[in-house]
Structure 1
Amino acid sequence: MFEQLNKNDLPWALLLEADPDKDKVMAYVTNGDGFIWKEQDEVIGVLVYEIRDTEFEIMNVSVADAHQGKGIGGKLLDHAIERLSKESGQQTKILIRTGSITNPALHLYQKKGFEEVSREKDYFINNYPEPIYEEGILLRDQVTLAKKL
């Protein structure tokens, strides 16, 4: 079930699973908004977004390992898209960024109507203090996807 994100009781394990830089996460949680998915009083999913002048950006989407593959990430995205579509004023699109080798996330985002608009070479090398590996592969490039409202 969806609940508003409580900034005083953040699901840090989930947030840091999607983005291991705690300072970056704290900055966009402070500036943004979001919600969690709970089952039996356990937070098993989270989504955080920021509202900008002409766009929304989904900053963090994470589902607990034990609950992946059950459609929770899709439900989080559907809820965000519906909610942001209702809130849109000047905002004409939703952005989401992920690693170029993050195949499950890329597949889900494309399934939900997001299309790749750019890639930033060596983003994760240049912007994170420690190397990030996904399934033993060094994460280098960032993909930006967008969905029109």
Structure 2
Amino acid sequence: MEKFTFKKMDPGSAVPYELLLLADETIDAINQYIFDSDIYLLNDGVQDIAVIALYKNDSTELEIKNMAVLEGLRNKGIGSLLINKAKEIAKESGYTTLVVGTSDTGFQQIKFYEKNGFIKKGVRKNFFTENYPLPIYENGLQMRDMVVLTHDLSE
């Protein structure tokens, strides 16, 4: 794997919407959480190629609110690298749980998170139909519910 730099964005820096929009549908949706999140960028020496936004739910739980890798660089271990960095950050900060939510139609994403040590913990019913103005489709199905997965950091 090439030499990457992983860096927390400085507060006040321009929000990297072009990357964040790869994982979330609208700027309005991103703005609901991004200003209260810590944003980390992965750079390949030429450009930012991936982003992860971490949000403190409470003193024990850190949530991955957004994670995206440039299209042409997917399935090369970069997402797993971001997950491992998030686990490190969470552990160093004293969190006991890392949580992530994804669409019930996001079969690849669910499999990816499970491969990275997450387990299904619950479902937020009608999350996508209530929080987005227009229907969103993935894998030919309308996104409705959010599947919540957690990773126990004490392991």
TM-score, scaled to structure 1? 0.90
Residue-by-residue CA offset, 1:83-142 (whole Å, 9 max, x unaligned): 111111xx3211100001212211111111111010123211111111111133211111
Say yes or no: does 1:84 pair with 2:86: no
Distance 1:140 1:24 in 2: 15
Say yes or no: does 1:141 pair with 2:137: no
How far is the alpha carbon of 1:68 from its aligned partner?
Answer: 0.7
Say yes or no: does 1:61 pair with 2:67: yes
- Number of aligned residue pairs: 147
SS class of match (1:79): helix
Give yes or no for contact 2:126–2:146 (8 Å, CA) kept in 1: yes
User: Runs in 1 of length 4+ with deviation above 2 angstroms?
Assistant: none
How far is the alpha carbon of 1:15 from its aligned partner?
Answer: 0.6
Distance 1:107 1:82 in 2: 21
Look up the match of 2:20.
15
Aligned equivalent of 1:50, options 52, 55, 58: 55
Unmatched runs of 5 consecutive residues or more in structure 2: none
Quick one: percent identity of the two aligned structures? 31
Say yes or no: does 1:75 pair with 2:112: no
Say yes or no: does 1:5 pair with 2:12: no
How far is the alpha carbon of 1:30 from its aligned partner?
Answer: 0.9
Write the letter of the residue equivalent to 1:142. M
Give yes or no for contact 2:29–2:132 (8 Å, CA) kept in 1: no
Give yes or no for contact 2:54–2:64 (8 Å, CA) kept in 1: yes
What RMSD over aligned residues (CA atoms) do the two structures have, in Å? Answer: 1.5
Give yes or no for contact 1:11–1:43 (8 Å, CA) kept in 2: no
More helix by share: 1
Write the letter of the residue equivalent to 1:137. L
Look up the match of 2:122.
118
How far is the alpha carbon of 1:26 from its aligned partner?
Answer: 2.1
Look up the match of 1:108.
112
